[in-house]
Amino acid sequence: MGKIAVVYHDDFTKYDMGKNHPFRGGRYQCFDEVFSHEILAARKDDITFVRPKPAGDEAIRATHGNDYIDLIEALDRDGGILTLDTPVPQGIYSAAKLFAGANILAGRLVLEGIRQRVVVLGLGAHHAGYDFGGGFSIINDIAVMIEYLRSNYAVKKIAVIDFDAHCGDGTQDIYYFDPGVLCIDIHQDPLTIFPGWGFSYQIGLGQGLGYTINLPFPPGASDRDFELAFSEICVPVVKEFQPEILVATGSLDAHSGDPMSGLNLSSRGYLQLMKSICNMAEEACQNKMVLILGGSYNLQLVPEVWLASIAAVLEAEPGDYGNSIESRQGSESQGEQAVNLIGSVKELLKTYWTSL
Amino acid sequence: MKRIGIVYHEDFKKYDFGPGHPLRGEECMDRSSAFDLLENHELLKNLTDVRFYEPVGASEEEVLSVHTKEYVEFVTRLNEAGGIISMDTPAFKGMYSVAKLFTGAAILAEKLVIEGEVGKSFAFTMMGHHVGADFGGGFGAINDVAISIHHLRRHYGLNRILVVDYAANAGHGTERIFYDTSEVLCIDIHQDPLNLYPGKGFPEQVGRGEGKGYTVNVSLPPYSVDEHYIRALNEIVLPIAYEYRPEIVIAVGLNGCHFTVQINQLMLTLHGLKETVRALSTISNDTCRGRFVNIGGFSLDRKLSGPGFLATVAGALDIEIDLNEPYEMPETIPDVSEDVTEAIESVRDIQRKYWRCLQ
């Protein structure tokens, strides 16, 4: 892989939900540590850093209901609460718009052929739906990018791979009836974790039937299970869908060292996951991909997983990825549960996808 | 003499989540606790002809008119084996069968009214208003309200159906199913979802596409009392409903806003519940020849069941009766009048874009 771009802004740290809230801006402070590491330093000529501008009102209102955005603006002015888990401190909306703008910039770089693969060290506020927020999400930066790209470029088909430990219910809400956006979502079983959405039988509605795919893994699922999901479901379906661009997104909370989920990915698992995503982009859409990589609730994890991920996107020589936490591999029965899940998802979706 | 229909089946009692759960079949669905008071009420006896009807279960085809094949396969499996639908909703064996019977009851109650068999009807069910096209929860497996509405549209060709959900929790499943259509107006009064399940039903949630403005969420603060509910009805619900000119009014709710109910913080009395139903029924008298159906009407507590249902029926028929509260109203309730004013204002601000009457 040749040159990539990395989108980042110092003001990302301003997406901060306050003291005693799990979502703090500090997760965005390891930028120098990551890029001064020898693996990336050796490739510094191949990495272009770009600074985004905030997304415009038009793209945001093309994504979300007007009445909802009016509410967000009012909350942002005075400070307030969107849902029980999502405070809106004064001014945070500007940071949210900056994340959406970062994704838009990434998408433009790819669709204008300036770079093939672009990484946003960003947010992925996938719990914000058409007219609701929550789960630390205020606006859905992923969807704002998609709406921008669809209205400014002639893209008809976009595939989203959401590898966050929590289901991207907001993104799914926005595209549930839309066959133009394929949402594949790997996450922890929503019976055991927020947002209680993303069961395997939830596959879209109306014209969108079959264009939402949920892979809810039981707690404990690890590297091997994610690999299986990729090879058995994600790769064949994305190839069949033939997207014009691939968007991969998630924070690092499926990591065994992250306290916010029961999933058990290792840092090497993330490396493998990113490789799988890149291979998929290569096979399905001439490498056109945007990776929106969020942080972790365990700040120690962020540099090592970002490093591994960017190295994978660059196809850098694997070296020492830092003090990686070894994966707790699932037991045999865990493997069986994963196999059963994948089998049942295939069964549910085979009428919509011949590759299954 | 006004003829009313009550749709009930003994098997409703099988909708039972077991000890410790707020929804117990014997408690909520017992025929005698629910209807004896009404049947023996001197005044009502003279003024009304109360008829009971027994439903049959809705067909698979009817269920599939709203729910996806994949979701129905899932609940069918749970019906045989039991399991879990969502974190708050365990599935007992046979749950789907009873839910289909509820759905059949809603369909029948609407048929009785549309075909003029009775003036007003009451489907005495535990409505599944939290259930969407492909998700369950909130103690529901399928959405009987939505399926019956779909039936009204398809079978009778109705295209202006008013649903007013007055349960304490927002009927987000129903809203979501009809989110993009103007043919069903969903108005929902409930406790602020910021502090109550299902966390959906905020005023800025107004529908999408063709359906913009055809979802109206009125969320009231905890400790709202009768007069607050009535204000919300008078200032928001009634004007919009009259502007919409529905072909039928479907009221959805139970006595769950009553001050004794522990799982929310609304503080209505039986009088407030009666006035709520009376207002909704009046809409039907003024706009659609009195076609009024109430889905729900039950109580979580057997002692409340009889007076609660009596209040519902008396409200629907606009009959003044004495209602004996089985419990004492707490004396100290925080005064939330100002918050209520603010809540109503915010709904008006949002909805005036869609409804002339609020401008």
Contact between B200 and A132 using a beta-carbon 8 Å cutoff: yes
Q: Contacts of residue B202 in chain A, CB cutoff 8 Å? A: 71, 132
CA-based nearest distance A202→chain B, Å: 6
Ramachandran bin of B165, using left for φ above 0, alpha for ψ from -120 to 50, beta for the remaining angles:
beta
DSSP-derived 3-state class of residue A351: coil
Predicted TM-score (pTM) of the model is 0.95
Q: To the nearest whole number, what is the mean pLDDT of chain A? A: 94
Q: What is the pLDDT of residue A253?
A: 95
Question: Which backbone phi and psi does B82 adopt, to 5 degrees?
Answer: 75, 175
- Write out chain A residues lying below 8 Å of B204, CB-based: 65, 67-68, 70-71, 131
Q: Do A201 and B204 touch (CB under 8 A)?
A: no
* Cis preceding linkage at B198, omega within 30: yes
* Nearest chain B Cα distance for residue A170, angstroms: 13
User: What is the mean pLDDT of the segment spanning A117-124?
Assistant: 98
Q: Which residue of A has its CA nearest to B88?
A: A191
Bridge partner residues of B52 (DSSP): B6
What does the pLDDT look like over A134-165, one tens digit per residue?
Answer: 999 999 999 999 999 999 999 999 999 999 99
- The 3-state DSSP composition of chain B as helix, strand, coil percent (nearest 5) reads 45, 15, 40
Strand A47-50 versus strand A4-7 pairing type: parallel
Angle between the A66-78 and A92-111 helix axes, to the nearest 10 degrees? 130
Pairing of strands B120-123, B292-296: parallel
Assess A347–B contact: CB distance below 8 Å, yes or no: no
Contact B204 A205 (CB under 8 A): no
**A354/B contact by beta carbon, under 8 A:** no
pLDDT tens-digit profile of B157-185?
A: 999 999 999 999 999 999 999 999 999 99
B268: pLDDT strictly greater than 70: yes
pLDDT of residue A12: 96
| pLDDT score of B60 | 97
Gap from B113 CA to chain A (nearest CA, Å): 31
Q: Contact at 8 Å (CB) between A68 and A132? A: yes
Chain B positions in Cβ-Cβ contact with residue A196 (cut-off 8 Å) = 86-87, 137
Nearest C-alpha of chain B: how many angstroms from A8?
32
Q: Each residue of B287-331: pLDDT tens digit?
A: 999 999 999 999 999 999 999 999 999 999 999 999 999 999 998
Which residue in chain B is spatially nearest to A174 when comparing CA positions?
B208
In this prediction, residue A335 carries a pLDDT of: 81
**Residue B239 distance to chain A (closest CA, Å):** 20
When pLDDT is cut at 50, 70 and 90, the band that residue B219 belongs to is: very high
Q: Note the residue count of chain A.
A: 356
With CB atoms and an 8 Å threshold, state whether B74 touches A197: no
Distance, CA of A62 to chain centre: 20
For chain B, say whether A191 makes contact (Cβ under 8 Å): yes
pLDDT in tens, B114-126: 999 999 999 999 9
Contact of A197 with chain B, judged by CB distance below 8 Å, is answered with yes
User: In B, what residues contact A, Cβ < 8 A?
Assistant: 68, 70-71, 73-74, 84, 86-87, 133-135, 137, 180, 194-195, 199-200, 202-206, 208, 212, 350, 353
Which residues, 6 or more positions from B342, have their beta carbon under 8 angstroms from its beta carbon? none
pLDDT higher than 80, residue A317: no
A23: confidence class by pLDDT, cuts 50, 70, 90: very high
How close is the nearest chain B Cα to the Cα of A350, in Å?
12
Nearest to A224 by CA among A335, A113, A68: A335
Instruction: Look at residue A322 in the predicted model and tell me its pLDDT.
Output: 53
Marked catalytic residue, from B67, B130, B150, B228: B130
B194/A196 CB distance under 8 A: no
* Residues contacting A225, CB < 8 A, separation 6+: A217, A330, A334, A335, A338
Residue A333 clears pLDDT 80, i.e. is over it: no
What's the pLDDT band for A329 if we cut at 50, 70, 90? low
pLDDT at A320 over 90: no
d(CA B111, CA B119): 11
CB-based contact A131 B71, cutoff 8 Å: no
* Per-residue model confidence (pLDDT) at position A268: 87
Q: Which two structure tokens, joined as six digits, stand for B116? A: 């003029």
| CA A38 vs CA A35, A306, A323, B272: distances in Å | 8, 14, 14, 71
The answer to whether B235 touches B342, Cβ cutoff 8 Å, is: no
Confidence of residue A316 (pLDDT cuts 50, 70, 90): confident
Question: Which chain B residues contact residue A134 at CB under 8 A?
Answer: 199
Structural contact between residues B109 and B295, judged by C-beta atoms closer than 8 angstroms = yes
Helix (H, G, I), strand (E, B) or coil at A78: helix
Q: For residue A131, give the nearest of B85, B211, B237 by alpha carbon.
A: B211
For the record, the structure tokens of A96 come out as 């949210």
Contact B204 A134 (CB under 8 A): no
Report chain A's terminal Cα–Cα distance, integer Å: 30
Residue of chain B minimizing CA distance to A64:
B208
**pLDDT, average across residues A308-328:** 72
Task: Find all residues with CB under 8 Å of A265, minimum gap 6, and list them.
Answer: A222, A223, A226, A254, A255, A256, A273, A327
B130 labelled catalytic: yes
Distance CA A46, CA A69 (A): 39
Interface touch B204/A70, C-beta < 8 Å: yes
A114 at interface of B, judged by CB pairs closer than 8 A:
no
Q: What is the CA radius of gyration of chain B?
A: 19
| Helix, strand and coil percent figures for chain A, each rounded to 5 | 45, 15, 40
The winner for highest mean pLDDT among A101-115, A320-334, B14-28 is A101-115
| Cβ-Cβ contacts under 8 Å, A199 against chain B | 74, 135
Considering only A324-328, B132-136, B334-338, which range has the smallest mean pLDDT? A324-328
Token digits of residue A203: 């596959």
pLDDT of A331 strictly over 90? no
Instruction: Give the bridge partners for B188, in sequence order.
Output: B165, B217
Contact A205 B200 (CB under 8 A): no
- pLDDT-above-90 percentage for chain A: 88
Helix (H) or strand (E) segment spanning residue A246: strand A245-250
The answer to whether the CB atoms of B70 and A201 lie below 8 A apart is yes
pLDDT confidence bin for A110, thresholds 50/70/90: very high
- What backbone torsions phi and psi does residue B219 show, to the nearest 5 degrees? -110, 125
By CA distance, what is A72's nearest residue in B?
B204
Q: What is the pLDDT of residue A174?
A: 98
As a whole number of angstroms, the distance between CA A181 and CA A240 comes to: 13
One-letter amino acid for residue B185 of the chain: L
Give percent of chain B with pLDDT exceeding 70: 100
pLDDT digits (tens, 9 = 90+) for B31-81: 999 999 999 999 999 999 999 999 999 999 999 999 999 999 999 999 999
Query: What digits encode the pLDDT tens for the residues B184-214?
Result: 999 999 999 999 999 999 999 999 999 999 9
Nearest to A289 by CA among A246, A243, A249, A250: A246
For residue A1, what pLDDT is reported? 74
pLDDT at B235 over 70: yes
- Confidence (pLDDT) at B20: 87
| Distance in angstroms (rounded) separating the CA atoms of residues B223 and B204 | 22
pLDDT value, residue B245? 98
Supply the pLDDT for residue A319.
65
